[in-house]
Amino acid sequence: VIYYKKIKRVFFVEAIPKAPSGKILRKNLRERLAGGLQK
């Protein structure tokens, strides 16, 4: 695997936020991730 495709970090969350339609709310995940890295 080329260097830029290797996994650099793994984050575990209690639950993945989903919309009523069942789609993953990626914006919410990004916000959680950004907030978690700053702490």
The pTM of the whole model exceeds 0.75 = no
pLDDT value at position 19?
96
- Per the structure, the complete domain to which residue 22 belongs is given by 3-38
Structure tokens at 19: 């919309």
Number of structural domains found in the chain: 1
Q: What is the pLDDT of residue 38?
A: 56
pLDDT of residue 37: 62
Q: Residue 39's pLDDT band (boundaries 50, 70, 90)? A: very low
For residues 28 and 34, give the distance between their C-alpha atoms in angstroms, rounded to a whole number. 10
Digit-coded pLDDT (tens) for 1-33: 899 999 988 888 888 999 999 999 999 998 888
CB contact at 8 A, 35 and 22: no
The pLDDT of residue 36 is above 50: yes
